[in-house]
Chain A
Amino acid sequence: MNHAVSAAILIAAMSIVTILLRALPFLIFHRHTPDYIIYLGKVLPAAIIGMLVIYCLKDVSVLRAPYGLPELIAGTAASGIQIWKRNSLISILAGTVLYMVLVQQVF
């Protein structure tokens, strides 16, 4: 089979599966949302954000140099600035710039 055609088919497969995963809960609970799902909707966001924090850090090794130190320092800084200023734009930019300095210049 032609390379372009097979690549297009694979891209379509990835797209359709991703769309289905995103749409499925909405389709299932289209008419009536059980209390249980409403409860999950209340408690899941905090849990998911916690999950995403770990997901982002999954390839960081604490056993090899630099032992996750850039992530620890920059992550603590972002969190600390958020507690202090309550402005996520400032916290994220400061944390990111600090991380870039750490991985490019320090570690």
Chain B
Amino acid sequence: MNSEVVKKAFIRTIPVMAGYLVLGTGFGILLRNSGYEVPWAFAMSLFIYAGSMQYVGVSLITAGASVITVIFTTLMVNARHLFYSISMIDRYRDAGCYKPFLIFELTDETYSLLCDDPGPEGLDVNQYRFFVSLFNHGYWILGSVLGSLLGSVLPFSTAGIEFSMTALFITSFTEQWLTASDHVPALTGLLTTLGCLIVFGSTYFLIPAMLLITLILTLRRNHGNPKEGES
């Protein structure tokens, strides 16, 4: 085990730590106030590990929803994970024994940290990905258990700290923009999703946006994109 890998991975995950601890705590509090204590928060954060789905899950569980409803809601809310996996197939190809774990750990935030990160130079990239994934999951579990133990809001105001997730994506977007020679994919993602949000509303926009993004990028490939192959 290389301690340099652990250190680099930890530094990379600090922005996620802030967001996950707070959002996890919020989840733990919500679940506790719905009558489900620490073991439930721990189990959900360990086995589901999908932020917005767990929040939705609390209301599904307390409402006594049917298994079919839960399956379809999960499909709707988490369909975007298909997208993450498709774009990581090539990157995780040679991840060996880390692969199943890395796949299970692909949340929005872990994805955005790792999708364009070649890892620190001279170090094992899969070990680095493993620790980035592990740290993030650890923050999420820790946050939800803390929230469950506290059972009420923190004594100081953390209002607005959830913006760290938005800032993470905005920063990744900016960094990708600065390094990419082709800005069409970034603009396609941004503008298509914005258009779908306006047309379909905030509950249903994500799946149409994903389909449309895939369609546009596919058409662009078929119509002879001169830059294909670069990257």
Contact = CB atoms under 8 A, between A and B. Distances in A.
Contact of A47 (B65, B174, B189): B189
Interface residues on A, range: 35 or more
Given A7-B36, A18-B49, A50-B186, A57 B166 contact: yes
A75 B164 CA distance: 10
Main secondary structure of the interface of B (DSSP, over half): helix
Given A22-B104, A41-B90, A49-B189, A99 B231 contact: no
Interface of A: 6-7, 9-15, 17-19, 21-26, 29, 33, 36-59, 70-71, 74-75, 78-79, 82-83, 86, 88-89, 91-93, 95-96, 99-100, 102-104
Which 5 A-B pairs have CB atoms at the shortest separation, nearest pair first? A50-B189, A47-B189, A50-B190, A95-B167, A100-B160
Interface of B: 11, 14-15, 18, 36, 40, 43-44, 47-50, 53-54, 57, 60-61, 64-65, 67, 70-71, 74-75, 78-93, 99-100, 103-104, 106, 108, 111-112, 115-116, 157-161, 163-176, 178, 180, 183, 185-194, 197, 202, 205-206, 209-210, 213-214, 217-218, 221, 228, 231
